[in-house]
Amino acid sequence: MNSFFERRYVVAGIFIAFILVLLGRLFYIQVVDDRYVAYASQNVVRKMIQYPARGPILDRNGKVMVQNEPVYDIMVIPKQVTAFDTVEFCKLLSIDRAGYDKRMIKARKYSPYRASVFEKQLTAELYAAFQERLSEFPGFFPQQRPVRTYPDSAAAQFLGYIGEVTDPMIKKSGGYYSPGDYVGITGVERSYEPVLRGQRGVENWMVDSRNVRKGSYANGAFDTSAVAGERLVSSLDMNIQKFGEALMRNKVGSIVAIEPSTGEILCFVSSPTYDPNLLVGKERGNNAAKLYKDPYKPFFTRPVQALYPPGSSFKPLDALIAMQEGMINPQSVYVCPGYYTSGNRRIKCFHGEVHGPVNLTQAIAHSCNGYFDMVFEKLVNKYGARNIDTGYGAWRQNVMKFGLGTRLDLDLPSEGRGLLPKATFYDKLYKKGGWRSSTVISLGIGQGEMLATPLQLANIEAVIANRGYFYKPHLIKSIGDKQVIKHEYTVRNYVGVDSAYFKPAIDGMQQVVDQGTAYGSKIPGIIMCGKTGTAEVKNKNDNSVFVAFAPRDNPKIAIAVVVENSGQGATWAAPIASFIVEKYLTGKISKRSSGIYPEYYMNANLLPPPVLSAADKRQLKLDSLKKTQADSVNKLKLKAASNNKPTDSPRVNKATAMLPKRKDNE
């Protein structure tokens, strides 16, 4: 009897323990481990992210530069995938079996229970064919998203491109971005990402076991709407932007044009360029890889990243500072014997020309090196030759007020500072007290260590056009429907030179075009003031540089053009600049007395031989070796095939075979 009761308690204890284990397991599944919750909810409710349309970007005249078109990502939940016809599936998505396996491994690694991107950016046409058979592929479903499209295929470096977020970007965003999201990588797309991206929404769908949508969950009570990104109106004029890109085709260099009265950038050409549509769609990765390998670096934003010696285009700036400092006046004369002597150095004028007695206006018109070397020495020796550090430092500060040697805070990433060395740089190079004005005399004519971006060169012209001030250059003139304009773009930045001193400098710049080095680029009916520059580059041909503004009174455009390693400023940069100026001011190109015309410059190929990296050279050598081996193998195969021909086959004489067949009666 006692043993019966003991057995009863043992059995009851086993049952109780079993029930407790089951209850504990249920608690773990439903409360502790969220994998099963996620798996169950994905069987019933699917959260569909509603990606907002990125804000469109328009040019200053309302022309659409970039807009959106819908594409479809194919999403997958690996745990819901069951057996299906993978051959047909791969065929519909235009992938192979190896690609399918690779994508599935990546999806399972991310999460077996949560949705991730399987295939990106299917076009509407490709998706339509896939959608018809979607129910045959359990675990897969579509996700619509907008991507960029570029109607004019222009202004690539200005617009930039978007790409998939990286892990550091996701972490930095504080949870806003998720894997598979897209973000602005370069250009305006990056600078204005917070206003362009908009706000994502969510739709909750009810789906059945066959992945077929059955309606909205809770009648949409938990849905949120996507909010489109803000519209941006850029300062660019697409008419001259496309025209400028055509003029710079097959050339290395840049064009930057600014509206002096606002600081708005009218033209922003970086050459060589690329079609921004190449970085959209399924072939984006392959296209980007080719562009990155391009030896001419199309991703390099030359207007703000390339550094060039200003050359003679710098001369008017030095003259303005010297007048303000009282070192010279418009009537100050220098007698040019064809060179300038500084210490034990003799600096020639460009071709050793003897300019004779020249004042400021004449020196600018004839680009007399000697005059501006004299001006530079007066400025840096202001406190005595022994106090070169102090005098040079004061000169440098005055030059920086024009925007050289410092960033102009353009609304674009990766803007360069240029280079305007401090006195300490020369102290380290020559030891303190071991250098004089003659050591750095080349700076007076825009050479030596001085380097500037094309944007900085154009901004200097805006300063001269405005007679002493500039507005910060910018590429976006308004944001959203309220047309918001950043306050910093409405503030005048004065350079510390009295407006009265600009007239003699501008007189000289007008003479450059009317009767000087840029005479061939004179525009009928328009007074353009400019300065040619032939900037020396070590071990290479000179850069062709031209800066200008027009018209002289009430200027509408200031411009800088650089054509790398192409020779004198008057030969290439000046004509290109004159075409842009006339096109902007009048909308057409008139016949020039010099006979120049745009098509000649459009068709000219000035691309220098590509500079290959060591890796590229090794790859080129390897490819050449492979080709030689392949050609040898093909020759051996052809020889073997000819030796194996039947002996009774007729031989065809090659020369005879080229003749037309004769008729029977001939």
Name the residue with higher pLDDT: 282 or 470.
470
Per the domain annotation, does 595 fall within a domain? Answer: yes
Whole-model pTM?
0.82
Residue 650 neighbours by CB under 8 Å, 6+ apart: none
Q: Indicate the range of 13-27, 176-190, 194-208 predicted with least confidence.
A: 13-27
Long-range residue pairs from 508-516, CB within 8 A, at least 24 positions apart, any chain: 508/316, 508/360, 508/361, 508/362, 508/363, 508/364, 508/365, 509/316, 509/364, 509/464, 509/548, 510/552, 511/361, 511/362, 511/364, 511/365, 512/364, 512/365, 512/367, 513/548, 515/365, 516/365, 516/366, 516/367
Of 234, 259, 291, the residue that ends a domain is 234
126 and 224 both lie in a single domain: yes
309 and 453 both lie in a single domain: yes
Of 194, 217, 234, the residue that ends a domain is 234
DSSP 3-state of 558: strand
Per the domain annotation, does 299 fall within a domain? Answer: yes
Q: Which two tokens stand for residue 158?
A: 């200005």
Mean pLDDT of 527-542: 88
- 660 — pLDDT class (breaks 50, 70, 90): very low
Nearest C-alpha neighbor of 240 from the set 600, 597, 580, 589: 580
CATH number of the CATH domain containing 193: 3.90.1310.10
DSSP state of 122: E
Residue 359 neighbours by CB under 8 Å, 6+ apart: 330, 331, 332, 333, 504
Mean pLDDT of 60-89: 91
Q: Indicate the range of 32-41, 385-394, 611-620 predicted with least confidence.
A: 32-41
Per the domain annotation, does 651 fall within a domain? Answer: no
101 and 118 both lie in a single domain: yes
395 and 323 both lie in a single domain: yes
Query: Count of alpha carbons within 13 Å of 357, Cβ hemisphere only?
Result: 3
Stated length of the chain: 666
193 and 324 both lie in a single domain: no
Q: Which residues are paired to 268 by β-bridges? A: 256
Q: Which two tokens stand for residue 344?
A: 């034990």
Handedness of CA 328, 332, 336, 341 (dihedral sign): negative
Helices (H), 261-387: 284-293, 302-305, 315-324, 360-366, 369-380
Nearest C-alpha neighbor of 98 from the set 112, 111, 82, 87: 87
594 and 630 both lie in a single domain: no
470 and 576 both lie in a single domain: yes
CATH number of the CATH domain containing 557: 3.40.710.10
Mean pLDDT of 292-318: 95
Strand 64-76 versus strand 140-149 pairing type: antiparallel
- Are the C-beta atoms of 567 and 541 separated by less than 8 Å? yes
Per the domain annotation, does 661 fall within a domain? Answer: no
Task: Name the E strands within 129-224.
Answer: 140-149, 162-164, 182-184, 201-207, 213-216
pLDDT tens for 223-264 read 888 888 999 999 999 999 999 999 999 999 999 999 999 999
332 and 412 both lie in a single domain: yes
203 and 339 both lie in a single domain: no
State the average pLDDT for the chain: 87
Mean pLDDT of 164-170: 87
Per the domain annotation, does 656 fall within a domain? Answer: no
How many percent of the chain have pLDDT more than 90?
60
316 and 451 both lie in a single domain: yes
Position 663 pLDDT exceeds 60: no
59 and 145 both lie in a single domain: yes
Mean pLDDT of 259-279: 96
> 592 lies in which domain range?
238-603
Nearest C-alpha neighbor of 547 from the set 514, 581, 520: 581
427 and 480 both lie in a single domain: yes
> How many domains does the structure of the chain reveal?
4
Position 387 pLDDT exceeds 70: yes
- Are the C-beta atoms of 511 and 364 separated by less than 8 Å? yes
